[in-house]
Structure 1
Amino acid sequence: MKSYIKNLCLSLVAVVILGGCSEDLLDVKNLSVYNPEDVWNDPTLANAYLVDLYASTFSGWPLNDGNNADESVGILGEGQVQTTNNAFKLWPYSQIRKINVLLSEIDNGQLGNEEKMQIKGQAYFMRAYHYFRTVVYHGGVPIIEEPQLLTDDLLVPRNTTKECFDFILEDLDAAIAGLPDRFTGNDLGRIDKGAALAFKGRVLLYMASPQFNPSNPYDNAYWQEAYQANLEARQFLEAQGYGLMENYNDIWMQSGNREVILANIYENPVKVNGRREDCVRPLSQSRNCTGGDQPIWDFVSKFPMKDGYMPGESPNYEYNLQRFWENRDPRFYDIVVYNGAIYELGGNPDRRQYTDTQVADINDGFRPGSDGRSGFYTRKGIQVELPVAQVDLNDVDWVEIRFAEVLFNLAEAANEVGRPDEAFEILKLIRQRAKIEAGTDGNYGLATGMNRDQLRDALYQEKFIEFAFEGKRFWDLRRARRLHTQINGMKKYGLVAVLKEGLDPVSGADFLPEDFDYEVTELFSTGQTEMYTPETYYFFPIHQDEIEKNPNLEQNMGWDNGTFDPTLD
């Protein structure tokens, strides 16, 4: 009975995002018509209100985010981003209002001081999180610190981008001051001091970035602030026992492990399918959905060999397109499912995944002109033991911040402030954990003596692999102002597999990857065939509806004769 009550309570108030629940929560009143005298005098009601904020702040795994970059299938085409549609728009003021209600009223209640501080600390973080994401989309937006009436419009002008960053950092400092060092156990998933420090490092990395400083992208003073913040975050987190997991795949398969700094917790059967496994699997092993997060050849080809050198450059391992899967970076096999590879879906340890249309299930194959297929699938975050009937019960946690990101953020800032040796050592740590061979020089295939630009490129390349399908690539290219130079005009390619002549496709034989011939082919031959990512995409427009509701809002420069400069220049 208790487990049923717990599951019912989790469903009612979304407490699974925090991991724990009390039976008292069954007695909560309707929080949409709450009485402040009740909520801020009762720890159960106060935490229920807080949980509702979590549910409207954090989401699950990003799906198909890589379609907007050079990671997965899909074309970001001309005309997809407009001032009058919802593409790449963010305006979370209803969520911010709820946070402002908490921050303005909680001190009037009778909760204990420590509990108030912890709840306020989490709320400050979430307000900073919403503002930060909105600034990344649009640049400076109106700063609202007090709860407005639900009937009010935001009849206020935009604050500058610098004012918004300062406000975000103030909120994060307030969060850091009020939060405990680390939440564990039933509180796993709550925002703690380590999460706030790590997120502050992310914020300052963006503040220093070329996206916000186009006229002085790498020598502005914000880089030093980013370096100090990420160094502090790393040192604090390591003191709390955080670090890189020994095995890359365990980051997702072991909930609450040492690499996880902040996660959205999933628990079957109460809160499931944050990974959208039903849409990532091949259709033969799924239901009514497929094609999500399919790697393209451009991404697959970027994996180094297992000695860390790029394909065709390794002194130890030959590379041949017809045996492209051999001797690659071990992360390759944790991320990429290729034709003939073992893919243990349904708990079948011997199951092979085929993409040759002669051999594969009719729904899994890839051939030229079959838009939406690439010849690859991904296994990242997939619970291969789930049968088809339970494919939507995936409960792999979404890791919003992990320790490897803190290391990359620190390395990137270190390189820009004249500390290349620190950045290089972090790259070595990442490759060591990946189990790339160290080599006789102990450099894991990394070139020595790289200059600032080369080391910067190496960091972006390594992060591309390390964070595949975690929703980083598009935003990193945008932050670095590389969209218009690396992605604009790009065509996307897949890999066609064809069973070798003389082999019988209907024999039922267990064909190996080397039993096929391979050809790189363009994915899209009709309609929009090239990526469209012009320089105006470094700051997306505010929706025209918001401009019309609030005459004090300026549109961004580059959109509908806008006059607002969203940069820090």
Structure 2
Amino acid sequence: MKKNVNQVYIIAVALLFIASCSEDVLDVKNLSVYNPEDVWNDPTLSNAYLVDLYASTFTGWPLNDGNNADESVGILGQGFIQTTNGSFKHWPFTNIRKVNVLLNEIDGGNLPESSKRTIKAQAHFMRAFHYFKTVVFHGGVPIIKVPQLLTDDLMVPRNSTLECFEFILEDLDIAISGLPDRFTGGDFGRVDKGAAMAFKGRVLLYMASPQFNPSNPYNNAFWQTAYEANRAALTFLEAQGYGLMPNYSDIWMESANKEVVLATVYRNPVKVNGRQEHCVRPISQSRNCTGGDQPIWKLVTSFPMKDGAKPGESNNYTYDVQRFWENRDPRFYEIVVYNGSLYELGGAKGRRQYTDIQLGGIDDGFGPGSNFGRSGFYTKKGIQIDLPIEQAELNDVDWVEIRFAEVLFNLAESANETGRSNEAFQILKQIRERAGIDPGTDANFGLKSEMTRDEMRKAIYDEKFIEFAFEGKRFWDLRRARLLHTQIDGMRKFGLQAKLKEGLNPISGREFMPEDFDYEVTELFNTGQTEMYTPDTYYFFPIHRDEIERNPNLLQNKGWDEGTFDPTIN
């Protein structure tokens, strides 16, 4: 029976290939009459199966992930995460089953051994990717290595978190040994050896982290393993020609550039809207959606000045809320759209974005009577500003799942925790130099010299907050470091309200500049949920109660429904 179910599934996946892949599929005979066993005998059909695995494994740009942290508008309120709802649940065993079908059946086909090896290596990576995300959410889960029937309820107990990490690393090592050094050209976007090595470094960083080791957060032996893996990944990637892009904004606007280690590829008209640009633009320049990824005042004030000093602490540049946009870290201007700044959406030369309620109106403005959820800021990261309103959903900017800068940060963090603070310091200098921050007379780019281990750790997190804004890192980094309850819990969020200065006529037809307004820091939420709620139990989210009820062998996490499972390592 199992074999028949698997074969039916293989046919269904092969049929999906017609709509999702290359023109080659049009040259083969009717897929609906294929014998399922032929899938692993035919390169086109086996590639179709693999393409489906990619589609079910890798996603596009995260949207509003920063709402859960101190990055963007939104409140993660009390009661939002429960065992009975879908919030912060990840249970990808249908996708894991797809991978297991491939690994179980491909050797029975007559594809060339070299092809089998490469396909299996990619599948091992994707199984590791699914398991890793699940473990980050919930801790240890059942390890399933063989395909289950579609009707199976996975009547197996949870493996320990340590066993799951070991299984993930085993899959990644298999992937690394079987993957080519680098996929390029038409194969760009597939997992190669460099991507697998970089991802292994990410996995080990989590494995060493306080989230999983609350009793020994920074002196456990996993940090050394993480350092070695990230050092090996960096060395390999550099040998393959990877590195930091000279211009920060080019990372997203130039596909397949040297900073992109692993990406989900978008190409208009075949695959579009991974960025969901129509949800990120101001509503006056969007359609069907708006309000996503709006920076809050906390993020805006986290950008240093042009010399790398914190706002208000620079010896070279003065800072005042009324001229907050002046002389900031160049990344500020590539990420933050502020009142009166140039934002030439739709190719409108000279267009300025106003968030003052008089000029921005009820659609884009932030102030009394404006739409709920405005902050006074928008973001331009990953936005194709030349697209007209009618094509706002045709954004085809690649989502970069792993970029070279992340490998640097992962190495810096593991270096700092293993007594190599100077190595971490040099990496932060590289990041700031690329950003365009002034080197200063000491060539430290505004960084304090001779930082303690704790100071360096904070400096790394602070720098990563800026560098990876709206790339889905901040909430998970704070959670990984067990900083949610100290930095986020009870937090209230603020925006910046602009008001045209008295005596200036909003309908005069003149162009107003940012300095033509008065600014007031304003709380965003005054009714309902007004404070962030991130208790200690959020370091491991609960498994959905339905899964527990379907499988009596599953134990719930401690802190949820009287659960007894301990998801930590030590």
Is TM-score (shorter-chain normalized) higher than 0.5? Answer: yes
- Residues 442-521 of structure 1: pairs in structure 2 closer than 5 A: 442-521=443-522
| Aligned partner letter, 2:440 | G
1:499-541 CA-to-partner distances (Å, cap 9, x unmatched) read 0011001112100000000000000010000000000000000
**Which residue of structure 2 lines up, in the alignment, with residue 4 of structure 1?**
none
**For 2:89 and 2:31, how far apart are their aligned partners in 1?**
30
User: 2:9 is matched with which residue?
Assistant: none
User: For the structure 1 residues 441 and 357, does the alpha-carbon distance in structure 2 shift closer, same or farther, using more than 3 Å as the test?
Assistant: same
- Amino acid corresponding to residue 120 of structure 1 in structure 2: K
How many residue pairs get matched?
A: 555
> Structure 1: which amino acid aligns with 2:305?
M
Q: Hey, what's the Cα distance between the residues in 1 that align with 2:70 and 2:316?
A: 28
- Alpha-carbon offset, residue 228 of structure 1: 0.2
Q: Provide the residue aligned with 1:235 in structure 2.
A: 235
1:187 match: 187
Q: State the percentage of identical aligned residues.
A: 74
Farther-moved stretch of structure 1 (472-481 vs 363-372): 363-372
Query: What's the CA shift for 1:369?
Result: 7.1
Cα deviation for residue 30 of structure 1 reads: 5.4
Closer, same or farther: CA 330–545 of 1 in aligned 2, 3 Å = same
CA contact (8 A) 2:16 2:52 kept: no
Q: Secondary structure at the match of 1:301?
A: helix
User: Closer, same or farther in 2 for the Cα pair 1:448/1:48, shift >3 Å?
Assistant: same
C-alpha offsets along residues 151-197 of structure 1, whole Å, 9 cap, x if unaligned?
11100000000000000000000000100000000000000000000
| Partner-residue secondary structure (3-state), 1:362 | helix
Paired residue for 1:546?
547
Alpha-carbon displacement from aligned partner over 1:351-399 (angstroms, at most 9, x marks no partner): 0000001111430000157531000000000000000111111000000
The TM-score normalised by the length of structure 1 is 0.96
- Any unmatched runs of 5+ in structure 1? 1-8, 16-20
C-alpha change, 1:523 and 1:316, in structure 2 (3 Å) is same
Looking at structure 2, the residues matched to 22 and 119 of structure 1 have their Cα atoms a distance apart, in angstroms, of: 20
Within 5 Å, give how 1:118-517 maps onto structure 2.
118-368=118-368, 370=370, 371-517=372-518
- Structure 1 position 29, deviation (Å): 5.8
Q: Deviations over 1:17-74 (max 9, x none)?
A: xxxx24235637658x974421100010000000000000011000000000000000
Counterpart for residue 533 of structure 1: 534
**Cα drift, residue 348 of structure 1:** 1.5
Q: Quick one: structure 1 residues 10 and 318, their matched pair in 2 at CA, closer, same or farther if it must change by over 3 Å? A: farther
The offset of 1:14, in angstroms, is: 2.6
Is the CA contact (8 Å cut-off) linking 1:13 and 1:51 kept in structure 2?
Answer: no
Give CA deviations for 1:428-484 in whole Å, capped at 9, x if unaligned.
000000010000100000000100000000000000000000000000000000000
d(CA) in 1 for partners of 2:18 and 2:384?
26
Aligned equivalents of 1:443, 1:391: Cα separation in 2: 41
Task: Return the offset for 1:200.
Answer: 0.1
What amino acid is aligned across from residue 87 of structure 2 in structure 1? Answer: A
Distance verdict in 2 for CA 1:535–1:30, change over 3 Å: farther
SS of match in other structure, 1:363: helix
Q: Shift in Å at residue 204 of structure 1?
A: 0.1
Per-residue displacement from partner, 1:242-301 (whole Å, max 9, x unpaired)?
000000000000000000000000000111010000000001101121100000001100
Closer, same or farther: CA 10–105 of 1 in aligned 2, 3 Å: closer
The alignment's C-alpha RMSD in Å is: 1.3
Measured in 2, the distance between the counterparts of 1:114 and 1:306 equals 52
- Answer whether contact 2:261 2:403 (CA < 8 A) is retained: yes
> SS of the counterpart of 1:518?
strand
Is it true that 1:14 corresponds to 2:15 in the alignment? Answer: no
Amino acid corresponding to residue 112 of structure 1 in structure 2: P
Normalising to structure 2: TM-score of the pair?
Answer: 0.96
Which residue number in structure 2 is paired with residue 558 of structure 1?
A: 559
Deviation, structure 1 residue 492: 0.2
- How far apart, CA to CA, are the structure 2 residues paired with 1:71 and 1:409? 21
Letter in 2 for 1:151: T
Q: Secondary structure at the match of 2:363?
A: coil
- Counterpart-to-counterpart distance in 2, 1:511 and 1:111: 66
